[in-house]
Amino acid sequence: MTNKKALRIFTAQEHEMMGSTPLNPKAFEKPFTPEALVDGSSDVAIIDEVRQGEVIEAMAASQYFGLELLEVPMIKLSKLDHETGEVIDKIPQLVGIHDLLRNEIVRDPEILEVHTLSEEGKRKLFVGEVVRASSQEQKG
């Protein structure tokens, strides 16, 4: 996904994990709601359907999964709550590790279970600490 319209299915939290920035700064006010829902340009059912089965490479979150340099966590996008528009699972599911050095994707459950999200990662990325900091930078 590289075009601007496609990027709007991501939440501010997901943008943080990918190392990108939402197009609309208001997305930081609702860090767990896809950007197209924050500004009202789409509805929940459509965005949720587009997100189904999508996986992002979360390069900015590598350190929080205890990965080596050139290993990138692959995160499955969470379903949306159709009432609130927010992601259901705030803590993402690791579904693979893209080893850039070997140019392969590791999906072995035994290897993935070793790489759980650290407490620091939960606090900084998924409770919204980093997202709130980015929101303040956008305003300031």
**pLDDT by 10s per residue, the chain, length 140:** 445 667 789 999 899 899 899 999 999 999 999 999 999 989 999 999 999 989 999 998 999 999 999 999 999 999 999 999 999 988 888 999 999 999 999 999 999 999 998 988 888 776 555 455 555 555 55
Look at the pTM and tell me if it is higher than 0.85. no
Report the run of H or E that residue 97 belongs to, with start and end.
strand 93-99
**Helix, strand, coil share (%) of the chain residues, nearest 5:** 45, 15, 40
User: Which residue, among 80, 76, 77, has the nearest Cα to 33 in the 3D structure?
Assistant: 80
Domain boundaries, the chain: 4-139
CA distance 65 to 90: 16
The vertex-80 CA angle with 122 and 54, nearest 5°, equals 80
CA distance 35 to 25: 9
